[in-house]
Structure 1
Amino acid sequence: MTKRQAGEGRGARLDAEMVIRTALEVLEEKGLDALSTRAVADRLGVRMNTVLWHVKTKAWMLELMADALIGEIPLDGLPDSWDERVRELARRYYGVLLAHRDGAALVVGTNAPEPHTLRFANTLVGGLLDGGLDEREAAWTAWTIVYFALGLAQEEQAAAHQRLEGRLADAVSGAAHPALHRALVHLGPDSFGERFEFGLSRILARP
């Protein structure tokens, strides 16, 4: 029996959860650019159509992967006070994005109304509602937190693979960019955590 034939035999026992788990393994090893349904099929030892039978399209596979990442965020042990609860949820969200190779890039490209994502969003919006925000303020503040975390995490993960600090310092001129030149020391790759806390405090500041 060939390897592919053996894989096809295993494919009958495949389910979407196994496909997504394998896809996350491929993501960790090769990165988002190398992720494809064919790469997942090769890892499983099955035909690509077998993978697609479970996840339908690559786009839906990415959404299910993003939801699986969000599912790693624990929603227990949260502070009682609404503002500390929201801060802790944001920190856990940010941490999960950073815990996976290209985690932020994966999630930012999806819009997954899947169980884990909806559960996290419900908890986040619920905390903001408990803080006295009306429904629109709570919804839009939750989106602001998510977009902020995604953007900063994506930048941090890119900085981990590139020498962005040196490139920025070389590009910024005191004569051409005086304001940016003055602030440059605060934009280094070692300040992401502080920037996250600063931005989160600004988002949650009440008038």
Structure 2
Amino acid sequence: MTKGITRARIVETALQLLDEEGINAVTARALADRLGVRAPALYWHVGSKQEILDEMATEIHRRVARQLEAELQCDSWHEGFAIYARVLRREYLKHRDGARTFSGARVTDVDVLRAQETFLRRWTSSGLSLADIGAAGQLVRSFVVGFAIEEQDRGQAGGQGYSIAARDDVLGAEIPLVAGTGKLVLSPPDERFERYVEIILTGLEATLSR
């Protein structure tokens, strides 16, 4: 085993590489170069690139869990899921390609999962079934992932991104409603995010109360 190389150090270096160069740059060879070792030395600690991604995602979800522990003190599942959505988006946006990288990976730290027990117990005590809480959580998480991926893709595109003016020129003046909906894309993302989360949770509340 190579001295000085730990699983935690590999993950920290992988996150730095992700932030600087993006997910495609996170390879065993690139990590080994940064750590000053040969690529095979990494496999004492991580068996594959997917395992590296899983460990990166686990570290991010540890941070999410710590933030939720501090912020999620309410008994309302509606407000609780709104807080969860904000925390998850905030953490994903801290890292280049964050949502795309972390959303599909496996969380390897059982303590991250155990941390969910407190608020799940609180929400089921309020009358919501565990199945409904699970469905709501999956829906909110899926929305956050999609929103953050699009938000990061637009931000990383810089001046080469979506142009409302160019789109309107192509559409012409005879379809103003379509042109109007396009302008919503350029409204402030924080405002859109909060509005969309509230629509989702209000719809869930109406559906689950039947």
Which TM-score band applies after superposition, normalised by the shorter structure?
0.7 to 0.9
What CA deviation, in whole Å up to 9, does each residue of 1:18-56 have, x standing for no partner? Answer: 111111111111111111111111100111111122011
TM-score (norm 2): 0.81
Cα pair distance change 1:21/1:44, threshold 3 Å: same
One-letter code aligned to 2:8: E
Match of 2:135 in 1: 140
Q: Distance in 2 between matches of 1:124 and 1:16?
A: 30
Match of 2:179 in 1: 181
Q: Distance in 2 between matches of 1:158 and 1:127?
A: 36
Structure 1, 53-62 or 82-91: larger mean CA deviation:
82-91
1:114 aligns with 2:109: yes
TM-score (norm 1): 0.83
Verify the 8 A CA contact 1:124 1:142 in the aligned structure 2.
no
1:80 aligns with 2:71: no
Shift of 1:96: 0.3
Verify the 8 A CA contact 2:55 2:107 in the aligned structure 1.
yes
Q: Distance in 1 between matches of 2:126 and 2:193?
A: 21
Shift of 1:76: 1.6
Match of 2:155 in 1: 160
* Bigger relative contact order, structure 1 or 2 (CA pairs below 8 A, ≥6 apart): 2
Cα pair distance change 1:199/1:30, threshold 3 Å: same
The correspondence of residues 87-106 of structure 1 with structure 2, limited to 5 A, is 87-106=82-101
Match of 2:55 in 1: 64
SS at match of 2:72: coil
Counterpart among 191, 201, 206 of residue 204 in structure 1: 201
One-letter code aligned to 1:65: M
Verify the 8 A CA contact 1:16 1:54 in the aligned structure 2.
yes
Verify the 8 A CA contact 2:103 2:145 in the aligned structure 1.
yes
Verify the 8 A CA contact 1:70 1:116 in the aligned structure 2.
no
Cα pair distance change 1:182/1:59, threshold 3 Å: same
SS at match of 1:105: helix
Identity of aligned residues (%): 28
What CA deviation, in whole Å up to 9, does each residue of 1:110-142 have, x standing for no partner? Answer: 233533652565566556535532122111110
Verify the 8 A CA contact 1:169 1:184 in the aligned structure 2.
no
Unaligned runs of 5+ in 1: 1-7
Q: Distance in 2 between matches of 1:123 and 1:93?
A: 18
SS at match of 1:185: helix
Q: Distance in 2 between matches of 1:111 and 1:45?
A: 27
Match of 1:52 in 2: 43
Structure 1, 99-108 or 56-65: larger mean CA deviation:
99-108
Counterpart among 167, 170, 187 of residue 166 in structure 2: 170
User: How many residues matched?
Assistant: 196
SS at match of 1:40: helix
What CA deviation, in whole Å up to 9, does each residue of 1:141-179 have, x standing for no partner? Answer: 10111111111111111111224331x542451479654
Q: RMSD of aligned C-alpha atoms?
A: 2.4
1:192 aligns with 2:183: no
Unaligned runs of 5+ in 2: none
